[in-house]
Structure 1
Amino acid sequence: MRVLGFDPGLSITGYGCVTGDIIRPAIVEAGIFRLTKSGQPAGSIGDRLVELEADVQALVERVQPDLIAIEGMFAHKDHPGTVVKMAHARGVILLVARRNGVEVCELKPAEVKKAATGSGRATKGQMQESVQAMFALPELPKPADLADALAIAACALRRHQIESMTS
């Protein structure tokens, strides 16, 4: 089973494709799509979404996932506009999944944090350390969007394998 996890955003979208089992997941491919280039003005939302769609489509064709995992929607009280921006990027990822006939698994952020660290309120640093240990990486996965995408994929892989064992 190959699971492709996404941490969606309009500036940076992290992705991680994992395979293996609950005890020893392995990274197939991981990285980020940087939709705003350093030192350049951000393109329009439409331009960034078109770029994201092309990047996600190419990735799906390359890694051939069995499942796409993505964080569910959440609104932070101090940053309510973030949920709207995240919704745009999520929509593109969900569209590409549908077009390619790939099943989608939505996970709550607290569920991913708890699966990765044991705490549903883990910090970004704790998530990075946990992902580093989970995949035996020589250094912290950076940026945090990359670590989050790998954690999302690993959590979905774990959930799918547990559900397969109990059904």
Structure 2
Amino acid sequence: MRVLGIDPGLRLTGYACLEGEGERPAIVEAGVFRLSRGEGGPSGGTRSVSERLDELDRDFRSMLERLKPGMVAIESLFAHYRHPATAIVMGHARGVLLLAVRRAGVELAEYKPAMVKKSMTGDGSADKGRMQRAVQAYFGLAEAPSPPDVADAIAIALCAMRRRTIAGLTSGVR
């Protein structure tokens, strides 16, 4: 199965496509969508949120068509009490991504950040550096995925694959 993991954001959205069955899936492709705030609006100033969301929508739909995942796994909405506006901004990006997945007719799974971190490191509160090192070690990469959004997207896709495997193994158990 091919799973596309997404770490949503309005500035950087990490993505990773994993493929395979069993213990070690292969990384097909991983990277980030960089949604620039640079010039681009009708007034010539910085790009509006709606312009960046439109760019994310176009790029993501193109990726869905090109990679043809069987499932998209995305991080669920999270807000730290010190940064409540982050949830609002992330919510905009998630909405665009969720709608694109729905319209493409692809299976969708959502995972809380703590679940993804625990699945990858054994610690639901692991920091970004630890996540990067864990992904690097698990896949035997020469370097840690960078920026951290890429490592998070890889971990999200891997979490989805593992949970799908567990669900398949236990589906007949009562």
- Cross-structure match for 2:98: 94
Shift of residue 133, structure 1, vs aligned partner: 1.2
Higher relative contact order (CA 8 A, sep 6+): 1
- 1:59 and 2:49 correspond: no
Q: Secondary structure at the match of 2:10?
A: coil
Shift of residue 39, structure 1, vs aligned partner: 9.4
Q: Secondary structure at the match of 2:136?
A: helix
Stretch moving more, 14-23 or 36-45: 36-45
Cα RMSD (Å): 1.5
Aligned pairs (5 A) from 1:1-167: 1-36=1-36, 42-167=46-171
Q: Secondary structure at the match of 1:106?
A: strand
Structure 1 segments unaligned to the other structure (5+ residues): none
How many residues matched? 167
Q: Distance in 2 between matches of 1:124 and 1:22?
A: 26
Change (3 A) 1:8 1:33: same
Q: Distance in 1 between matches of 2:3 and 2:54?
A: 23
Shift of residue 22, structure 1, vs aligned partner: 4.4
Contact 1:67 1:102 in 2 (8 A): yes
Contact 1:4 1:15 in 2 (8 A): yes
Q: Distance in 2 between matches of 1:43 and 1:30?
A: 26
Normalised by the length of structure 1, the TM-score is: 0.95
Q: Distance in 2 between matches of 1:144 and 1:37?
A: 20
Q: Greater CA radius of gyration, 1 or 2?
A: 2
Normalised by the length of structure 2, the TM-score is: 0.92
Counterpart of 2:47 in structure 1: which amino acid?
G
Structure 2 segments unaligned to the other structure (5+ residues): none
